[in-house]
Amino acid sequence: VGHSRSKPGKKYNLAQAQTLFGSDRESVEVAYPGDVIGINNPGNFAIGDTLYTGNEKIAFPGIPSFSPEIFAYIRNPDTSKYKSFSKGIDQLLAEGAVQALRQRNDEGGGPLILAAVGQLQFEVVQARLKAEYGVDSDLEMIGYTLARWADGGWDAVDKADADGKLFGIMIVQDRWQRPVLLFRNDWKAAGITEEEKYLQLQPWSKPPMFDV
């Protein structure tokens, strides 16, 4: 199949597709509209992507990610299990269990921030890391209550920051290095959105269109 965000002509093999029913799995070669199937993710698929057959590229509109309301640093207390911890986190992020944020220009070496709608999502992540990957994790909550993606880009964020408009706001980036602003309350977010329109603040995000 082709992938809506991959280079034209690049194909992926779905030979391991399975039907899902509760905890049961069964290999399937033919599926019909409405069927729910599971496929292996080669690392390029994201929620909302389109897979298609043939050579004509097809892409349905992306599905916006949820707007997070709680944030926490997640850390691995056992450095000897670094690989298992990283593998588990990567898998859970690919599934959309939570969103990940990092400090600007952090390519993976700094602290990872998890973003979620509710506390239960954090508990699920920690439980699955323990059960499926055999690793413990520590969470440190961060005192922000909502996120806004700055579609105006980093230049707009730098302008607002230089003008002193982002005092008390945490500036981070998402998994695609796009700017995200974390606010402590709705009032502050609404004020910045209205007064600094060039930031183009949005409460959600979609996977960017790009070739891989």
pLDDT in tens, 20-42: 777 788 888 888 888 888 887 77
Which of the residue ranges 2-16, 67-81, 84-98, 180-194 would you say has the lowest mean pLDDT?
Answer: 2-16
* 183-210 per-position pLDDT tens digit: 999 999 999 999 999 999 999 887 776 6
Radius of gyration of the chain (CA): 19
* 141-157 per-position pLDDT tens digit: 999 999 999 999 999 99
* 69-80 per-position pLDDT tens digit: 999 999 999 989
Confidence of residue 212 (pLDDT cuts 50, 70, 90): very low
Q: How far is Cα of residue 128 from the mean position of the Cα atoms in its chain?
A: 17
Q: Is residue 3 within 8 Å of 45, Cβ to Cβ?
A: yes
Tokens linked to 111: 């602290």
Enumerate residues 6+ apart whose C-beta is below 8 A from 55: 2, 9
Residue 183 and residue 174: Cα distance in Å, rounded?
Answer: 15
